[in-house]
Structure 1
């Protein structure tokens, strides 16, 4: 079928069936699954390029819901799917797909959601990971280079070893695929200078070129004739149900109004819905890539060179890939303030040089940052606040939640009423439901 082009005529039609707001990994996957379910007449709005977000900061109009009375607010540059540009500019395949809940320990998650909730999350994340890898292997142009299915290792220093062993015991009881590594095994992978003495190995974990992944899924939906992609468009400043309640109105910063029967908000930290004030907070995440010209001890015989490593609590995650040690961290600084990228990325570099002294101290290195969003319980927000609303949310931390948001995106046809939820999908939808926070919560009908 011929590719559908973005034209003024397309954008001025009376109403779309679905508008997907955000062309990152979640929005792209939602649009793809809707197209496969036979949904036509869709529009995806992306204020930058798919998977990347805007490439330049832009001042937001004073009357935007984003700004309140602060004239100095600037929309952040890069989306949460942000990766390096490849080659000498840093490795592209860095976005982790993990199955662990977004908590330091599983018992903390269980305090809020119960152990049944922990099991549900592990199952849905495993499903989301598999779905994402299946789609990536099907659509990415060079899967061997753009997907690293080499597992991950969670490590700790001596004072946390008992807690890490307790976490392993939790995971074993919940039948999560993993194995315990003693100190000798961990040192073989990291070297003694890093100071890590124990680890949990997750063989199913992976990393992906998330920018290209978002692009190819959107392109597949466009090529099917069901989706129009409007990229580098004016930012969305408001999304609301119409007064009649029969459609959704999306307002862009340039004044354009777009109507849709339903809309999916999949914007991460790049658009803050006024109804989510106090629930969803934009945050920065920083990346540094230290040149790695010597094989060194990291990624030795006991762990693949491209395996991911992360600390208990996820304060840092890193890997050896494409002649770099890629380090992520310094998260949680407010995305409503200046990014302070030089300082935060500098801290990551200092951390890497201290942990792995065989790296060249002070060497020039690529660095960047992205914007994501976080809830008080670190879980994604998925679904509608009321049964009658046409607005469906799929937002939350992309770092922790890439697998869980992939699972949520596959529910898009059911959440928008194009098919029924299976029993397993109902558990997923209930666990991630936005209604756990919404003051407008209603009990869904069976």
Structure 2
């Protein structure tokens, strides 16, 4: 038996939730949002092996990944929730790397859309989150480097300045004052508008707002999507679930890059793990005192690590890019993050117990999101890609849900975003 909808959104993380919300605001009705677990978290229990036995050891060879890239800590003693970044950080290590692919006009478009996406997500978060003062922290971010890379960072700053990106240069004295001498950082670029957010609560709040319109149905804890195909007539799409159920929709938005494998995305979308460790932080130190309410978000040039002080923890994420097709080795990878933190900030208690977790996201060869349809006649629209660089670009992409599906016209700025992120940059050769 199949059910017909106007639009089915696959995935209820921040991107899928935002897409569903924007569709309801454009007057679209009869929308279904699917999530195989909890909105913003994905499946929160491991899948089962063939004999039906749950996989309880996260590093077993047969382990199947399940957490969403939107995942945050549980809060309280289990680690800080407000950790997901919304930053204007561009993909690639340096802006000239993007310019090699898309030209400097493409770089400027990216920076503009990232700033738009950041503002859009902050506006929605402050409107819908129940405790925005606690769940949104717009305290800026600082990109730092060690001495051997300071000239390269200065070059990046010059690029950003020439393109009108709001930022300022931090010299060695100022960076050491923020991090201490042991961290080894000597220069930084400060982005005052950047923020971090409780992304799980944000996704849930957007879905709640969409549900109140009466235009959206949410089906969580549903059987995973295993296939999406255009009907032969291309009048609708057919979605197959793992339990054998079929759904039909005039159009589908695929907004789950880490847990759904689509042959259209083969070779251009790779599932990756991202790891999180939260080291206890109760002694005042260079990163701030207890609770550090004004702590910025920090990240390295090249984005190997990002971290901040939040609710008596130094939250560290990194060790990304380990294949999401393999066992996550979460204990080993999170342990390396902890070792990194204790080395950089020796005032932290070495060897202390700490919360740790991981999520799975997806990455493209050029680290840019994929949006749109592989051909104009398709009923399947993609909205997937790397959120490890911050959710600003994905927020800008999700706001295009209605025009991408033909429910309204695009503005000139939206068209530039759609062109830069178009999936056809890979598929139309």
Give the TM bin, normalised by the shorter chain: over 0.9
The alpha-carbon deviation at position 60 of structure 1 amounts to: 8.1
Of 402, 409, 431, which residue of structure 1 is paired with 2:420?
431
Q: Which runs of 4+ in 1 moved over 6 A?
A: none
C-alpha distance in structure 1 between counterparts of 2:275 and 2:215, whole Å: 36
- The Cα of 1:59 is off from its aligned counterpart by 4.6
Q: Is the aligned partner of 1:410 residue 2:422?
A: no
Which residue does the alignment assign to 1:6? none
The equivalent of 2:228 in structure 1 is: 239
**CA shift for structure 1 position 305:** 3.5
- The equivalent of 1:198 in structure 2 is 187
Does residue 317 (structure 1) correspond to residue 343 (structure 2)? The answer is no
Q: Which residue of 2 aligns with 1:390?
A: 379
TM-score under structure 1 length normalisation = 0.92
Q: Is 1:141 equivalent to 2:130 in the alignment? A: yes
Aligned length: 418
Residue-by-residue CA offset, 1:412-446 (whole Å, 9 max, x unaligned): 0000000001111110000000000114x6xxxxx
SS at match of 2:320: strand
8 Å CA contact 2:298, 2:306 repeated in 1: yes
Residue in structure 1 matching 2:216, options 214, 217, 227? 227
Q: Distance in 2 between matches of 1:424 and 1:219?
A: 29
1:319-371 Cα deviation digits (max 9, x unpaired):
01100000000000000000000000000000000000000000000000000
Q: Residue 49 of structure 1 is aligned with which of 38, 41, 52?
A: 38
SS in 1 for 2:389: helix
Say if 2:85 and 2:390, in contact at 8 Å, map to a contact too.
Answer: no
**What SS does the corresponding residue of 1:131 show, helix, strand or coil?**
helix
Q: Distance in 2 between matches of 1:73 and 1:32?
A: 36
Residue 172 of structure 1: aligned partner = 161
Q: Distance in 1 between matches of 2:151 and 2:49?
A: 49
Q: Is the Cα contact below 8 Å between 2:82 and 2:199 reproduced in 1?
A: yes
SS in 2 for 1:399: coil
Q: SS of 2:359's equivalent? A: strand
Correspondence 1:357 to 2:321: no
> 1-side partners of 2:148 and 2:294: how far apart?
27
Whether the 8 Å CA contact 1:73–1:336 is kept in 2: the answer is no
Shift of 1:51: 0.3
Q: How does 1:290-309 map to 2 (within 5 A)?
A: 290-299=279-288, 305-309=294-298
Cα drift, residue 100 of structure 1:
2.2
Partner Cα separation in structure 2 for residue 218 and residue 13 of structure 1: 24
Q: What does the per-residue CA deviation read over 1:285-308, in whole Å, with 9 as the maximum and x for residues that have no partner?
A: 0000000011201148xx974210
Q: Secondary structure at the match of 1:145?
A: helix
More off after superposition, 207-216 vs 264-273: 264-273
SS of match in other structure, 2:208: helix
**RMSD value, Cα:** 1.5
Residue 96 of structure 1 corresponds to 85
Q: Is contact 1:299-1:307 (8 Å) kept?
A: no
> What is the CA–CA distance in structure 2 between the aligned matches of 1:340 and 1:256, rounded to whole Å?
33
Q: Is the 8 A contact 2:3 2:246 kept in 1?
A: no
Unaligned runs of 5+ in 1: 1-11, 62-71, 442-446
Give the match for residue 32 of structure 1: 21
Q: Does 1:161 align with 2:121?
A: no
Give, in angstroms, the shift of residue 77 of structure 1: 2.0
For 1:130 and 1:59, locate their aligned partners in 2 and report how far apart those are by CA, in whole Å: 41
Change (3 A) 1:304 1:219: closer
**Offset at 1:13?**
6.8
2:164 and 2:176 mapped to 1: Cα distance? 26
